[in-house]
Amino acid sequence: MFHEAQKMLEKYFGYSSFRKGQEEAIKSILEGQDTLCIMPTGSGKSVCYQIPALLLPGITLVISPLISLMKDQVDALNNLGIASTFINSSLNQTEIENRIAATFKGNYNILYIAPERLESERFKALLKNLPISLLAIDEAHCVSQWGHDFRPTYISIAPLIKELSRRPVVAAFTATATPDVKQDIVKLLDLETPDIYVTGFDRENLSFSVVRGTNKLNFVIDYLDAHKNQPGIIYAATRKEVDRICDYLHKKGFPAGKYHAGMSDIERVQSQEAFIFDNILVMVATNAFGMGIDKSNVRYVLHFNMPKNMESYYQEAGRCGRDGEPGECVLLYGGTDIHIQKFLIEQTAQSPERKSCEYKKLQAIVDFCHTSQCLRKYILKYFGESYTPNSCDNCSSCNDDGELSDITIEAQKIFSCIKRMGERFGINLTAGVLRGANSQKIHQLGFNKLSTYGIMKEYPLREITDIINLLVAEDYLYMTEGQYPVVKLTKKAFSVLNNEEKVLKKVQKPKQIANTDLSLFDLLRSLRKEISVKENVPPYIIFHDSTLQEMSKYCPTDRKSMFRISGIGEAKFQKYGLQFIEVIKKYVEEHRITPAPQKEISAESNDTRTPSHAVTYEMYEQGKTLEQITGERKLTLITIQEHLVRCWNEGYEIDWSKFINPEHEVLVLQAVKEVGRERLRPIKDVLPDEVDYFTIRAVLCKHQDKL
């Protein structure tokens, strides 16, 4: 059946191979196995249930809290020829009943519903009679009260599964889940011995920056000036801040929209659609915006204020670069940000346990804002994932070419002061003592008599607090939990006090923006906009930016060359292909351009592209390593490995010994004798962790005739 899934991918979505994690998840679902997929935003989680929906009998039911995302995905699916619909609070009762009736008639492959529907006993009774073969749960982290976006209605999903006349395959999907939240998802959604796929939280196409101590409004204006004609989102912590920023942008001549819970439903919809349809390029919003927006070409996300936790930050930043093209995520940190978030925690957190959890999460993102370590490494470590390189070369810490400054003396002064204050006070009071502030509290406590009082009087108070925060982020100090955290010394601090270790600090430099000639891309984008207005669908549903950029690079001028562009399948070509070819032809003729050689061209090909796995085999035959092929083709290692297995199954010759550790080969053969070779999962379960799935497949291929 998986071979059919690959055909569906190319026919409907226009791609010749699956992205990292998609293939494994789809195989698991098609084999009838409950599945949990933790995949980063933009990695194509929805394809993992949309493809099975085309192959499984009955209907696929998708539970999603994101009403606007439902509409976007249903529009996109229907545009591809995949019959889909949704039921949520945006519909009246007549519309709901009509869609339910059509669903019972078998008119749809996929039905999206909001979790709030499960509060209706009448609606649940209707679901019991539907032939549901797959239940997909989007944003599955919402089931955990320790997650960043807990929704009580998600608790109703597990009882629903038990009440259905026939238990469907259950697949849960999320982009952000710490190890604790992952356990909650499995338990609270009642997943039965699920296959769990964590493809990694890394978004390689995104750069991350933290900017401290700057005039935020001036920074935003300069940034927008340097990124004209690029869609972006600016997140702020409060409605009042959103209004202020948006008004300021209008005064400076930037047509921006805004979105927050204080606006009417009509105002929010109008603002959202203006952004989706590229009528405005800048959206200023609270975290109420973006979760359900499937807009693929957002090129930057600016956080005007620090978010409440790392999960929120990474999910909001993840609105950027969903098409796989480069995107920038910039967090502007100011001293008042932490106070805003503490106020919000006190207003919203109910139980003491929940409040304690929120303060712990808040400290983690404060540390993120002050660390001098690789930001990508910090993010991945937070989500329980290791990052081997010391530098990602794509964040403000790694790309900062400023000189390292030795602040060991300053650190020693701070540690000494904290120790003399009894490790019982917070950052601000400590900074005040070091600065020599003449406050009533300092005098009442007698701290003006300490030897460390005023020992850093030549430093601005803000710089002292910044250094203390840096020392917390670098684990020289730690903060207790709660609304009024206390700063304490760690073992590392004592090493510095004993002159056994130095403390270094780096100062960032502004990054220069490169100019790019996008003339053909702009023409194609204009055509896409015309079509989107005519058909009343968002531009990215027609073609992603990455598809237009590939057209701009290779200038396809006929059917054959157009089909070699990623993202163009039969349905897309029939609808739009000739219109885009016409624009490209005219541009090529006017500028006397010779089209660039396209990827994956074969002398034997007629109207279809050379199969992607065959291209991989050709490079393998040339003596290239899998890592070299991965780098040149810009595909994941797992995809390249799967290409070789597919080639072997089609009769290509491959020397599997090149890829197998002899010791692992013996272990795999022993495991096959023990559990059989029918499924890979049981084999993997009895092997050491270092033996991966590719090794298992390679051994099975090598010994095919003997097993």
Query: And the tokens for 494?
Result: 């004592």
The single residue listed with the structure tokens 């769990």 is 196
User: Using CA atoms, how far apart are residues 452 and 440, in angstroms rounded to an integer?
Assistant: 17
Task: Report domain 206-382's class.
Answer: alpha beta
Query: And the tokens for 187?
Result: 């338990």
Q: Which helix (H) or strand (E) holds 85?
A: strand 84-87
More confident of the two residues 303 and 351 = 303
Give me the percent of the chain exceeding a pLDDT of 90. 35
Sheet strand arrangement including 282-285: 206-212, 327-333, 300-303, 232-235, 282-285, 256-259
More confident of the two residues 290 and 399 = 399
Strand partners, 84: 110
The single residue listed with the structure tokens 């976006």 is 149
Sheet strand arrangement including 59-63: 84-87, 110-113, 59-63, 132-137, 169-174, 35-38, 195-198
Please determine, looking at this structure, whether the domain spanning 2-198 carries the CATH number 3.40.50.300.
yes
Packing angle between helix 637-649 and helix 612-621, nearest 10 degrees?
90
3-state SS string over 384-413? CCCCCCCCCCCECCCCCCCCEEECHHHHHH
**What's the pLDDT tens digit per position in 5-51?**
988 988 888 887 888 789 999 999 999 999 999 987 767 889 999 99
Q: What is the pTM of this model?
A: 0.59
Strand partners, 132: 59
Within a 10 A sphere around the Cβ of 158, how many other Cβ atoms? 16
Strand partners, 212: 333
Q: Are strands 169-174 and 282-285 parallel, antiparallel or unpaired?
A: unpaired
Q: How many angstroms separate the Cα of 57 from the Cα of each of 30, 52, 106, 109?
A: 11, 9, 10, 9
Could you tell me the maximum CA-CA distance found in the chain, to the nearest angstrom?
Answer: 88
User: Using CA atoms, how far apart are residues 308 and 358, in angstroms rounded to an integer?
Assistant: 8
Q: What is the CATH number of domain 519-591?
A: 1.10.150.80
* Mean pLDDT (whole number) for 57-73: 85
Q: How confident is the model at residue 292 (pLDDT cuts 50, 70, 90)?
A: low
On whether the CB atoms of residues 405 and 394 are closer than 8 A, the answer is no
- What does residue 98 show for φ and ψ, rounded to 5 degrees? -65, -40
* Mean pLDDT (whole number) for 410-421: 95
**What's the pLDDT tens digit per position in 246-280?**
999 999 999 999 999 889 888 988 998 899 888 99
Query: And the tokens for 9?
Result: 């991918």
Q: How confident is the model at residue 291 (pLDDT cuts 50, 70, 90)?
A: low
Q: How confident is the model at residue 165 (pLDDT cuts 50, 70, 90)?
A: confident
| Intrachain domains 2-198 and 206-382 with the same fold | yes
Tell me: pLDDT of 607 over 50.
Answer: no
**What's the pLDDT tens digit per position in 187-215?**
999 999 999 998 878 888 899 999 886 77
More confident of the two residues 393 and 650 = 393
User: Using CA atoms, how far apart are residues 704 and 695, in angstroms rounded to an integer?
Assistant: 14
On whether the CB atoms of residues 29 and 169 are closer than 8 A, the answer is yes
* Mean pLDDT (whole number) for 82-109: 90
User: Using CA atoms, how far apart are residues 630 and 641, in angstroms rounded to an integer?
Assistant: 10
- Estimate the share of the chain in helix, then strand, then coil, as percent rounded to the nearest 5: 50, 10, 40
Lowest mean pLDDT among 76-90, 338-352, 574-588, 629-643: 338-352
Lowest mean pLDDT among 466-475, 498-507, 510-519, 541-550: 510-519
Under DSSP, is residue 3 helix (H, G, I), strand (E, B) or coil?
helix
Tell me: pLDDT of 470 over 50.
Answer: yes
Lowest mean pLDDT among 398-412, 429-443, 599-613: 599-613
What pLDDT, on a 0 to 100 scale, did the predictor assign at position 511? 42
User: Using CA atoms, how far apart are residues 195 and 48, in angstroms rounded to an integer?
Assistant: 13
Within a 10 A sphere around the Cβ of 692, how many other Cβ atoms? 14
More confident of the two residues 308 and 507 = 308
Q: DSSP label at 141?
A: G
User: Using CA atoms, how far apart are residues 85 and 638, in angstroms rounded to an integer?
Assistant: 33
Under DSSP, is residue 472 helix (H, G, I), strand (E, B) or coil?
helix
User: Using CA atoms, how far apart are residues 491 and 477, in angstroms rounded to an integer?
Assistant: 9
What pLDDT, on a 0 to 100 scale, did the predictor assign at position 480? 84
Q: How many angstroms separate the Cα of 634 from the Cα of each of 19, 290, 481?
A: 11, 28, 44
The single residue listed with the structure tokens 């008119």 is 107
- Match domain 404-506 to its CATH number in 2.40.110.10, 1.10.645.10, 1.10.10.10, 3.40.50.970: 1.10.10.10
User: Using CA atoms, how far apart are residues 559 and 588, in angstroms rounded to an integer?
Assistant: 16
Q: Cβ contacts of residue 365 below 8 Å, gap of 6+?
A: 306, 307, 308, 309, 310, 313
**What's the pLDDT tens digit per position in 370-385?**
888 899 999 998 888 8
**What's the pLDDT tens digit per position in 524-575?**
989 999 999 999 888 888 988 888 888 888 888 988 888 888 788 778 888 9
Q: Cβ contacts of residue 402 below 8 Å, gap of 6+?
A: 506, 507, 508, 509
**What's the pLDDT tens digit per position in 420-433?**
999 999 998 999 99
Return the domain boundaries, the chain.
Answer: 2-198, 206-382, 404-506, 519-591, 612-702
CA angle 419, 422, 424 (to 5 degrees): 115
User: Using CA atoms, how far apart are residues 12 and 55, in angstroms rounded to an integer?
Assistant: 13
Q: Are strands 59-63 and 132-137 parallel, antiparallel or unpaired?
A: parallel
User: Using CA atoms, how far apart are residues 69 and 633, in angstroms rounded to an integer?
Assistant: 31
Q: How many angstroms separate the Cα of 652 from the Cα of each of 599, 616, 643?
A: 21, 12, 11
**What's the pLDDT tens digit per position in 574-592?**
899 999 999 998 888 887 7
Query: And the tokens for 562?
Result: 């157009």
User: Using CA atoms, how far apart are residues 234 and 220, in angstroms rounded to an integer?
Assistant: 9
Mean pLDDT, the chain, rounded, equals: 85
Dihedral in degrees, nearest 10, Cα atoms 559, 563, 568, 572: 30
What pLDDT, on a 0 to 100 scale, did the predictor assign at position 513? 36
On whether the CB atoms of residues 331 and 338 are closer than 8 A, the answer is no
More confident of the two residues 255 and 618 = 255
The single residue listed with the structure tokens 């996008």 is 518
What pLDDT, on a 0 to 100 scale, did the predictor assign at position 601? 39
What pLDDT, on a 0 to 100 scale, did the predictor assign at position 450? 95
